[in-house]
């Protein structure tokens, strides 16, 4: 990667809002899911495991950042995000267990959609659509 681009990404992360930072993490997890798909198609098992592991680490980070004792007004949101992150983690594990390359594409798409919803929430100040996506 070009050094200037790396600096741009670092600056973007540092200057982003917390909601945008979540979107950036979800984007990166989605990229790892796509890498897992390509590795599966190319029969590169070790690369697939590494890619899914990286995505799982990112999602575990997001999972760990959720409020443990949320206020009543955000409890439903926190629980829905907890369920979404856990579901993605289980599905990523299944990519390796079932050796299912198409599953990694579906995961990547779901993560991209969720990242987009976080960006929309950042712009609108409304997290309702994130919660609805997490539940479905």
pLDDT digits (tens, 9 = 90+) for 23-76: 999 999 999 999 999 999 999 999 999 999 999 999 999 999 999 999 998 899
Which of 2-6, 8-12, 19-23, 63-67 shows the lowest mean pLDDT across its residues? 8-12
Pick from 88, 125, 119: nearest CA to 12: 119
pTM over 0.75: yes
Domain 3-135: CATH class, spelled out: mainly alpha
Pick from 114, 116, 89: nearest CA to 103: 89
Sign of the Cα torsion 13, 128, 61, 43 reads negative
Q: What is the pLDDT of residue 133?
A: 66
Which of 50-54, 70-74, 78-82, 115-119 shows the lowest mean pLDDT across its residues? 70-74
Domain positions in the chain are 3-135
């Amino acid at each position: 990667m070009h050094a200037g681009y790396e600096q741009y990404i670092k600056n973007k992360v540092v200057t982003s809002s917390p909601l945008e930072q979540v979107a950036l993490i979800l984007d990166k997890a989605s990229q790892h899911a796509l890498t897992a798909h390509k590795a599966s198609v190319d029969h590169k098992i070790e690369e697939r495991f590494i890619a899914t592991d990286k995505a799982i680490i990112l999602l575990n980070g997001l999972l760990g950042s959720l409020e443990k004792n949320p206020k009543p007004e955000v409890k439903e949101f926190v629980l829905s995000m907890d369920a979404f992150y856990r579901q993605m983690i289980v599905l990523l594990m299944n990519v390796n267990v079932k050796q299912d390359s198409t599953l990694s594409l579906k995961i990547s798409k779901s993560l991209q959609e969720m990242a987009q919803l976080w960006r929309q929430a950042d712009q609108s100040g409304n997290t309702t659509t994130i919660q609805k996506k997490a539940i479905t």
